[in-house]
Amino acid sequence: MNFFISEQDNPALFPDSSKEEHLRRISRLREEMERCDIDGMFLTQETNVRYATGMMDVAWPIQSYFYTAFIPRSSEYPVAIFVPNGGQIQTQATWVKTIVRWNFPVGFYMGKVGESLIESFSFWINKLGLKNSRIATEMSAHFRIGISVEILDKMRASLPDIKWTDCGPVMWPVRSIKSDEEIKRLRQSTKITCAGIKAGFESIKEGSSERDLANAISSTMHSEGGSDIKFLSLYAGPERALWGDGAPRREMKIKKGSLIQFDGGCTYDGYYTDIKRFACFGEPTQEQYRFYAIARSSEQAAIDAVVPGATYGEIYEASQQVIRDSGYPEFVTGAQSMNWTSIGHNIGLDIHELPGISKDNKETLKPNQVICIEPFFYQDGGFPIWTVSNKYGLEDQILVTETGHEILSPDEFISRDIWIG
């Protein structure tokens, strides 16, 4: 065999969560599998594997290092982690005891990786008596599979009687409700991100580049304990109407009258923050201030509507009514060509999680969900490109409480009214 199975004597030497938290997650996932009539889940996406097992590793970006997990519905069977041989260090962050280590084949870097993983997974499924079962994995557009399509296809072929389905109906209802441990991390991530934005905007001088501002923001986040700044979008100046990528540019200089928009955040122990702030370097024109005031009121109306039991569609509608009452169409006027009718999302181990705050979403808000509200307003009818020459908006991170909501990114951390110079 090109793999071997072992039981860890001392799991979780460096745990990613408490043992109670780990057991709670597995129990909830099994409850949802029961509800969805799913016999087990084969998880490949990094954040799904981390959520279910605690396993994390710096080698995730290496395309041929596949870290996966199998969670059976029945508590009679153990949760198992599948790692490349040599991955002992990765498993020390998890409470999972059963480790399946598959060997790297000869020709590892020449496209021959995967056979051992397929062999070990097929063996495990047969060992548990699940060769005729219903197994879920990442199959919808809201997930990124952590193994190649070629390997997944071969895996399916090796288990022809398995009925494969998407794991989203199991994962998202569980992941969307945050535990006290998760909320603590989200609070800290948000606080660090706010400190970074504040320090960055305070550093701006005429002639500073977008990259200078981005560096000031990210360096503060790192010094405050943040990490993994994977999403940092920044625009400064009307010239950016031509560039819709949001990547900070050294050649783009800030000058009087520049409109500046930051969107993104850092992680803290794996948990994301996503905040947007809008500023003007110098005195804004009356028109700019008026449009910004509409966007700010739109966001506040959406925040005020956040209570348990409200639907995501009602949050959307509250924000858009403000824009309509101001005499302008919905913010999606220009984006409707892209079927974009969303003003936010849930957040956690992924920066965009489900459910989304969209026009027709009838799902209801629940206590301990953390959502990001980010309506934006296009002054010229909605040219469908992400720019600051015609787009005004804010984004804040909101915790749904038992009786209402709490803003995790309050003005005392970072003001929503930033006029510089």
Beta-ladder partners of 279: 260, 418
List of residues 6+ apart from 362 with CB closer than 8 A: 311, 312, 313
pLDDT tens profile 356-394: 999 889 999 999 999 999 987 766 544 443 344 567 889
Measure the N-to-C terminal CA separation of the chain; round to a whole number of Å.
68
Using CA atoms, how far apart are residues 159 and 1, in angstroms rounded to an integer? Answer: 18
C-alpha dihedral (162, 163, 169, 171), degrees to nearest 10:
10
* 168-227 pLDDT per residue, tens: 999 999 999 999 999 999 999 999 999 999 999 999 999 999 899 999 999 999 999 998
Token pair of 342 as six digits: 């969303």
pLDDT reported for residue 286:
87
User: Which pLDDT belongs to residue 108?
Assistant: 55
Supply the pLDDT for residue 258: 85
Residue 245 DSSP label: S
Closest CA to 193 of 157, 164, 223: 223
Domains belonging to the chain, first-starting first, are 3-175 (3.40.350.10), 180-420 (3.90.230.10)
CA-wise closest residue to 259 among 387, 383, 386: 387
CA–CA separation, 308 and 365 (whole Å): 5
pLDDT at 62: 59
Q: Which of 159, 71, 152 is nearest to 122 (CA)?
A: 159
Q: pLDDT per residue over 83-118, tens digit each?
A: 888 666 667 788 999 999 888 765 555 455 678 889
141-167 burial, b at 16+ Cβ within 10 Å, e below that, comes to ebbebbbbeebbeebeeebeebeebbb
pLDDT tens per residue, range 231-261: 788 878 655 644 456 777 777 888 888 888 8
